[in-house]
Amino acid sequence: MKVIGLCGGSGSGKGAVARILSGFGIVHIDTDLVYHEITSRPSACLDALRAEFGDGIAPNGSLDRARLRDIVFAEPFSRERLARLNQITHAYVIEEAERRINECRLNGERGVIIDAPLLFESGLDSRCDRVIAVVASRELRLARIMLRDGISLDTAKKRIDAQLSDEALSAKADYTVTNNGTLEELYSSVKRIYLEIFN
């Protein structure tokens, strides 16, 4: 079974690439969804986040992501706060992702996608046979983030600036998909990479 890492900054279009790969029969593990699942109910991860950022981030036993985001990205912005958030969450997300990878292996799947915005920062890239980076222009990414998440331009800029640059991701990845065009162009690029990896 081949494990494909999929990374890209906010608004790059990772989700669209993952959907295309899923259409080829590759199992998709979305680490954002894993994170949401383990923080939407009482868990060791949620306990650790509350201990670090206060009980106010989970007033009803489920993570209030907007409150946590406001704390982490509060002015003045602190990379230490963001690093601490990632340090806490990565361990729990990696544990669950590895459990799902092993389950796929036991089920005889031919491939699995590990969709992780912080693939390299979390160390999940070490579990991957190949890594695909998805990149897009800053202007497009900002527009997509604001539309998708209903946030301000300033907040969107902070989110992008807190992540690895497209250049850094491309330098670390085996393949780079540039997602500035149409869905048809994106499909063609992803299919070409899929065929190279699996054939």
**For residue 117, cis peptide bond before it (omega within 30 degrees of 0):** no
| Average pLDDT for runs of 10 along the chain of length 199 | 95 95 96 92 92 89 88 80 88 92 95 92 91 96 92 89 91 97 96 94
Q: Tokens 């065929």 label which residue?
A: 195
Sign of CA dihedral 14, 16, 19, 23: negative
pTM for the whole structure? 0.84
In whole angstroms, what is the distance from residue 187 CA to residue 42 CA?
39
CATH topology of domain 2-198: Rossmann fold (3.40.50)
For residues 165 and 121, the answer to whether their CB atoms sit within 8 Å is no
Q: Tokens 């406001």 label which residue?
A: 70
